[in-house]
């Protein structure tokens, strides 16, 4: 389908962007456009003004802090994430995920911030942010605020931002010797996904953070995490600890797979993500 008529504005500064969003009814930030434009073309949503934030300098940097944490600008593309030597050192598995997200065309335009804000259940990064306990940095008409990743996602395609607010960047805590596993089951698109961040020592799991994606709100699995802490880092122990990972989640049913299947697969991907993190010293 074709786009309906829509106004377009590309501000030079973050302040102007916020001002435009605040003062115009029906204004929406436009980042890489890889989701928003498709939705507008399907005429499934209507927007009066697109405020193009994709070239705002404030949103474009990847910066590693002294404590090893890394701040990724919301406007950084997947391709830039994949090519960043800093991110490759600090969060190698995330860099790899970015490098394999969709295809080159989408990677050249799709942004880390857009991916998180859009919160499509198929999107790669929401469960990563939750598993890593990322901090989301936001600017709006009332100034700046930070939101914990766990509080950022509010439902299908929705987030905690108000209409004048822009996600400017995301800080990922340092891994500090932990490793990240990222596993999914794809049926055309991802049908189940889990991210695990695991610390091991002497063949035992010290701590684990496990989050599930492909859900309206990516969720941590505290019971699984507790069960994992202190167990031997073996396939059997991990299988037992993650067996109930899907309990209580409510995935969607669609033409690709039913909710029941996705729920069952949640434990499979959780187990595989934890095992990947354990085995993945070389990947990170």
Ligand X SMILES: Cc1cc2nc3c(=O)[nH]c(=O)nc-3n(C[C@H](O)[C@H](O)[C@H](O)COP(=O)(O)OP(=O)(O)OC[C@H]3O[C@@H](n4cnc5c(N)ncnc54)[C@H](O)[C@@H]3O)c2cc1C
Residue numbers at the binding site for ligand X (CB under 6 A): 28-36, 38, 53, 74, 101-102, 106, 109-111, 113-115, 117-118, 120, 122-124, 161, 166-167, 189
* Two structure tokens written together for 37: 């434009």
Binding flag, residue 177, another protein (CB under 8 A): no
Contact stretch for another protein (CB under 8 A) within 14-22, 166-174, 218-226, 261-269: 261-269
4 binds, among ligand X, another protein, none (CB under 5 to 8 A by kind): another protein
Q: How many CB atoms lie within 10 A of CB 247?
A: 12
- Per-residue binding string, another protein, 190-229, x by CB under 8 A, is -x--------------------------------------
Say if residues 112 and 72 touch (Cβ distance below 8 Å): yes
Alpha helix (H) residue ranges in the chain: 14-23, 36-41, 78-83, 85-90, 92-99, 104-109, 112-118, 126-131, 149-152, 222-228, 235-242, 259-279
Q: Which of 199, 257, 270, 277 binds another protein (CB under 8 A)?
A: 257
Binding flag, residue 187, another protein (CB under 8 A): yes
Cβ-proximal residue to ligand X, closest one? 114
257 binds, among another protein, ligand X, none (CB under 5 to 8 A by kind): another protein
Say if residues 184 and 195 touch (Cβ distance below 8 Å): no
Say if residues 251 and 260 touch (Cβ distance below 8 Å): no
In this structure, are strands 166-172 and 204-213 parallel, antiparallel, or unpaired? unpaired
The binding site for another protein (CB under 8 A) comprises 1-5, 42-43, 185, 187-189, 191, 254-258, 261, 264-265, 268
């Amino acid at each position: 389908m074709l786009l309906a008529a829509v106004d377009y504005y590309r501000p030079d500064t973050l302040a102007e962007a916020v001002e435009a969003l605040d003062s115009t009814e029906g204004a929406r930030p436009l980042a890489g456009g890889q989701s928003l434009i498709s939705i507008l073309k399907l005429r499934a949503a209507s927007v009066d003004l697109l405020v193009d934030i994709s070239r705002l300098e404030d949103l474009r940097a990847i910066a590693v802090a002294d404590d090893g944490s890394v701040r990724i600008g919301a406007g950084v593309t997947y391709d830039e994430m994949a090519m960043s030597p800093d991110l490759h050192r600090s969060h190698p598995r995330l860099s790899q995920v970015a490098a394999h997200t969709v295809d080159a065309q989408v990677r050249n335009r799709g942004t880390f911030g857009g991916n998180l804000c859009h919160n499509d259940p198929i999107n790669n990064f929401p469960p990563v942010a939750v598993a890593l306990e990322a901090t989301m940095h936001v600017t709006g008409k009332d100034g700046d605020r930070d939101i914990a990743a766990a509080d950022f996602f509010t439902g299908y395609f929705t987030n905690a931002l108000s209409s004048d607010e822009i996600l400017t960047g995301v800080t990922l805590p340092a891994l500090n010797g932990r490793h990240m596993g990222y596993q999914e089951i794809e049926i055309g698109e991802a049908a189940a996904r889990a991210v695990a961040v695991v610390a091991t020592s002497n063949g035992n799991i010290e701590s684990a953070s496990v989050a599930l994606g492909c859900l309206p709100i990516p969720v941590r699995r505290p019971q699984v995490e507790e069960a994992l802490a202190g167990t031997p880092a073996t396939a059997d122990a991990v299988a037992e600890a993650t067996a109930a990972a899907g309990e209580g989640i409510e995935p969607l049913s669609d033409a690709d797979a039913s909710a029941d299947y996705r729920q069952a697969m949640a434990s499979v991907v959780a187990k595989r993500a934890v095992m990947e993190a354990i085995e993945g010293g070389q990947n990170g």
